[in-house]
Amino acid sequence: MTLGEILKDLLADNDMTQKELAENLNIGPSTIGNYISNYREPDYKTLKILADYFGVSIDFLLDHRASPAISHAEDELLRVFRLLPNDQKALYIGQGKLFISHNAKKAKAAESKAADRKRKYKKQDS
């Protein structure tokens, strides 16, 4: 993802306009527009200001990971998790565990079905 796409997502998540962001950070609205359109890139100081304002890391803004195993989606999950109140964090974790359990059951059913087919074909070959 580009910085502009990430900024658009952050604005949408915070129900905020480019103009509001510009006013809140004391940055020209056209400058914010240029970042979002990917015509310009912010300097280090502005990256720090943007990261602090949205409560994300500079790496998140730049879609940069030190480890190739981590995706932007994982960064987004962590960002969302950190923004939730504690009671909602527990629900968020519970939902994730339900997905894991559901996927494990689906995989087990698929394995069982494949084993049944294999036994059926072995029987026919005999």
Say whether both 7 and 43 belong to one domain. yes
Can you tell me the distance from the alpha carbon of 122 to that of 126, in angstroms, rounded to the nearest whole number?
6
Domain that holds residue 58: 1-68
Residue 79 lies in a domain: no
The answer to whether residues 4 and 60 belong to one domain is yes
Does the pLDDT at position 87 exceed 60?
yes
Which of the residue ranges 16-20, 51-55, 105-109 would you say has the lowest mean pLDDT?
Answer: 105-109
- Mean pLDDT (the chain) is 88
Average pLDDT over residues 59-63: 91
Q: Global pTM?
A: 0.59
Closest-CA residue to 51 (of 66, 67, 64, 37):
64
Residue 74 is assigned to a structural domain of this protein: no
pLDDT for the residue 7: 96
Tokens found for residue 124: 């026919």
Query: Distance between CA 29 and CA 111 in Å, rounded?
Result: 56
User: What radius of gyration, in Å, describes the C-alpha atoms of the chain?
Assistant: 23
Q: What does the pLDDT average to over 37-56? A: 95
- What average pLDDT does the segment 10-37 reach? 95
Q: Is the pLDDT of residue 118 over 80?
A: no
Per the structure, the count of domains in the chain is: 2
